[in-house]
Amino acid sequence: MVAVKDTGIGISDQAQKRLFERFNQATPRTESVYGGSGLGLNVSRKLCHLHGGEIGASSKEGEGSTFGFFFKVRRDIESSNTVMSKYDKSEIDHLCGGIQALSNKVTGVNNRTRSPEIPGNPVVTHVAEIAPGAASDDKYIHTLKIAHQVKANEPLASEREVLHDRNVDRVSKRPKVSGTIGGHADTKLRHILVVEDNIINWQIISRKLQSLGFHISEATDGQEALAAVRREKFDCILMDQEMPVMDGKSATMAIRNLDRAADTPILGVTANVRASQQQDLLDAGMNDILHKPYRTNDLFEKIDQLLVLRSKK
């Protein structure tokens, strides 16, 4: 985990909502004062995601900002006799510097304002607020409330609610479900199997469901799904229809032949909208059908309905 902390002007609430979007900067004046095109944070975020990590920020206007990122790497233990070569700027470094200088010249930055003073050797130290288990500071709570507002499109939550939402199971590292899902009480961690061959689709679906408090397992085809059901017990299965190796219909029929999964709710996902095709999937053992493309709210509601029906049996 690496973080950069400053005590500068901070970032306004509205600017924080679009901080990592492409071609967006904090204010219309940012480009004229500091230069840039509003792509840096967006690119940084994509790089973190490609390495299985994440980037984030906490800020309060007038009180500075903290930006932090993490990703997983393999540790390389070097020999004690290894001599580090002297660092010289590469051609790419010189090229990047030239592009930045040209950008400043075109926008007239150097003519209108003084560049911010940046020390040649900034202090490198431990940033306490990003350490595991660190207590929440005012900036973190403030930014987290803004994130909740964007996510839920609701008025900002109280500080007590925000802190309550940070309740994390330190053993499993998964969020605990608290409150309700779809208006129905759900106090235990629900385990859902997402069967989807498109890696981007299942990443998006899994993140959405995890944000709601579900525990997610994944399979990329029907055969993997069948193997997973033989190993584990699931509360619900989200089953895509069109997949290689074994399609959703065949996988559903095979799962229904397993005693341990005879009553497990299976929600089929398909682009086929004809009534006969839908009925074919229902006859194979699926409990309900969700049509592509669908909204995430529709997905949550379907899963909630299946879980409620199962709990009443």
pLDDT in tens, 99-147: 767 655 555 555 555 666 767 777 788 877 777 667 777 888 888 888 7
Given a cut of 50, whether residue 262 has pLDDT beyond it is: yes
Q: Residue 230's pLDDT band (boundaries 50, 70, 90)?
A: very high
Topology of domain 2-74+92-119+126-149, CATH = Heat Shock Protein 90 (3.30.565)
Beta-carbon neighbour count of residue 23 at 10 Å? 8
pLDDT reading at 276 higher than 60: yes
| CATH 3.40.50.2300 residue window(s) in the chain | 180-312
| CATH fold of 180-312 | Rossmann fold (3.40.50)
- Confidence bin at 292 (pLDDT 50/70/90): confident
Q: Say what the pLDDT of residue 267 is.
A: 95
| Residue 186 clears pLDDT 70, i.e. is over it | no
pLDDT at position 192 is: 93
Region(s) of the chain under CATH 3.30.565: 2-74+92-119+126-149
| 31-76 residue pLDDT tens | 444 445 567 788 888 888 888 788 888 898 888 899 989 887 777 7
d(CA 153, CA 148): 8
State pLDDT tens for residues 188-229: 578 999 999 887 778 888 888 888 888 999 998 999 999 999
Strand partners for 287: none
How far is 195 from 239, CA to CA, in rounded Å? 5
Mean pLDDT over each residue of the chain, to the nearest integer:
75
